[in-house]
């Protein structure tokens, strides 16, 4: 450990002079003070008082997610906390509500409180500016679930494109030829990956792509279901529908009930589903299930390695989804 004596030797002054500079007491010539400060920086000397203060301060990670009431992010949070606590870290949680300004406020909070690291589910492509703030201040961060174009960082995400394709292929195998999709906002990568998987499945089966069968809506509790109603009012309405997540699924089911449309007798429905087996015990939903606990636990491990200064290239972990076939899908009505 570097001591005041080491700094004094490097600066060519007495230990008393170093003490005066550190404590801001007594007279020291400006040229001497500058020499002492340069020696401190060269040796990475941290004053004892500051060392004690930093040792007493809890080590903190921040997890920034769109909405913790979404079971997906609840499991991410649990995985993060379990790993963090094993290594002596506490975890603070922030909800952006898919709002860039709220995301920026929380990023600034991380800088103001000098947290050790950040795990973040970015709002979308424009999150790049917020993430740049972390990079500029050398705060380690890991992306969860969504990548951001132009941002090089560790990331833990699911095989969204492949899982989406498999869901749509299942509908095609049942005989559906008119298949609609409701993605999240296309300003985030996860929504675009859902659409990409959908389009891959259609192309492979030689089925047409129709703009009228493709809609975008919020993936939160505030979803506007008018897009569902408009699509199903078409003369050639889809016989099957792929929605983005559990919130969209819940809103869609309610809309179908109001319209008198039965699942799966009148319309087949697939989605990315609930990770919690207990919460899904009575679910009829055919869904892609992602190992969301591992998103958090692996993300936390990557982040702790960054904090510890482990030298390595940015790591990209893609976790496979499991397709669970239940009772929300059936062959189309003739």
Q: In whole angstroms, what is the distance from residue 144 CA to residue 73 CA?
A: 10
- Chain segment 180-231, per-residue pLDDT in tens: 999 999 999 999 999 999 999 999 999 999 999 999 999 988 899 999 999 9
Rounded to two decimals, what is the model's pTM?
0.81
- Chain segment 54-79, per-residue pLDDT in tens: 555 679 999 999 999 998 999 999 99
pLDDT of amino acid 279:
62
- Look up the CATH number of domain 4-54: 1.10.260.40
Report residue 50's pLDDT band, with 50, 70 and 90 as the boundaries. low
CA atoms within 13 A on the CB side of 18: 23
Q: In whole angstroms, what is the distance from residue 14 CA to residue 30 CA?
A: 15
Q: In whole angstroms, what is the distance from residue 190 CA to residue 78 CA?
A: 21
Per the CB < 8 A criterion, the answer to whether 273 and 285 are in contact is yes
Above pLDDT 70, what percent of the chain?
94
Per the CB < 8 A criterion, the answer to whether 107 and 134 are in contact is yes
Fold exhibited by the domain 55-158+292-320? Rossmann fold (3.40.50)
Q: In whole angstroms, what is the distance from residue 108 CA to residue 129 CA?
A: 12
- Chain segment 304-313, per-residue pLDDT in tens: 999 988 888 9
Query: Pairing state of beta strands 286-289 and 322-324?
Result: antiparallel
Name 275's bridge partners: none
Above pLDDT 90, what percent of the chain?
73
At residue 291, φ and ψ (nearest 5 deg) are -80, 70
- Chain segment 21-45, per-residue pLDDT in tens: 877 766 788 888 889 888 888 888 8
Name residues whose C-beta falls within 8 Å of residue 39's C-beta, 6 or more positions apart in sequence: 7, 10, 11, 45
DSSP character at residue 288: E
What does the domain layout of the chain look like in residue ranges?
4-54, 55-158+292-320, 160-290
- Count of CB atoms within 10 A of residue 81's CB? 19
Q: In whole angstroms, what is the distance from residue 272 CA to residue 166 CA?
A: 11
Token pair in block for residue 3: 């001591």
Q: In whole angstroms, what is the distance from residue 295 CA to residue 325 CA?
A: 23
Per the CB < 8 A criterion, the answer to whether 299 and 144 are in contact is yes
- Count of CB atoms within 10 A of residue 294's CB? 17
DSSP 90-130: EEEEEE-TT-HHHHHHHHHHHHHTT-SEEEE---SGGGHHH
Residue 49 pLDDT exceeds 60: no
Comparing 55-158+292-320 with 160-290, is the CATH topology the same? yes
CATH for 160-290 (3.20.20.70, 1.10.3720.10, 3.40.50.2300, 3.30.530.20): 3.40.50.2300
What order of strands is seen across the sheet that includes strand 141-144?
89-95, 59-65, 117-120, 141-144, 154-158, 316-319
Q: In whole angstroms, what is the distance from residue 18 CA to residue 41 CA?
A: 13
Token pair in block for residue 23: 């404590």
């Amino acid at each position: 450990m570097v001591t005041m004596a080491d700094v004094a030797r490097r600066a060519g002054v007495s230990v008393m002079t170093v003490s005066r500079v550190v404590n801001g007491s007594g007279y020291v010539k400006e040229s001497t003070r500058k020499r002492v400060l340069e020696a401190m920086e060269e040796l990475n000397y941290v004053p004892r008082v500051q060392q004690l203060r930093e040792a007493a301060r809890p080590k903190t990670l921040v997890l920034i997610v769109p909405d913790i009431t979404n079971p997906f992010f609840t499991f991410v949070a649990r995985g993060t906390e379990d790993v963090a606590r094993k290594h002596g870290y506490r975890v603070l949680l922030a909800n952006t509500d898919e709002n860039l300004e709220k995301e920026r406020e929380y990023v600034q909070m991380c800088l103001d409180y000098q947290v050790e690291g950040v795990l973040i589910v970015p709002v979308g492509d424009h999150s790049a500016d917020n993430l740049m703030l972390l990079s500029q201040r050398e705060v380690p961060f890991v992306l969860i679930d969504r990548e951001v174009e132009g941002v090089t960082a560790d990331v833990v995400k699911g095989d969204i494109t492949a899982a989406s394709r498999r869901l749509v292929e299942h509908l095609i195998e049942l005989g559906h030829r008119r298949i609609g999709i409701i993605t999240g906002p296309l300003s985030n990568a996860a929504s675009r990956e859902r659409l990409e998987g959908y389009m891959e499945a259609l192309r492979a089966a030689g089925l047409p792509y129709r703009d009228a069968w493709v809609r975008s809506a919020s993936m939160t509790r505030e979803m506007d279901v008018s897009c569902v109603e408009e699509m199903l009012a078409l003369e050639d309405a889809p016989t099957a529908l792929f929605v983005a997540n559990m919130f969209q699924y819940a809103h869609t089911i309610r809309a179908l009930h109001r319209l008198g449309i039965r699942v799966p007798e009148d319309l087949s429905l697939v989605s990315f589903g609930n990770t919690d087996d207990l919460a899904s015990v009575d679910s009829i939903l055919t869904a892609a299930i992602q190992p969301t606990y591992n998103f958090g636990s692996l993300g936390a491990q990557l982040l702790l390695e960054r904090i510890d200064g482990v030298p390595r290239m940015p790591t990209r972990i893609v976790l496979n989804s499991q397709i669970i076939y239940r009772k929300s899908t059936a062959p189309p009505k003739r």
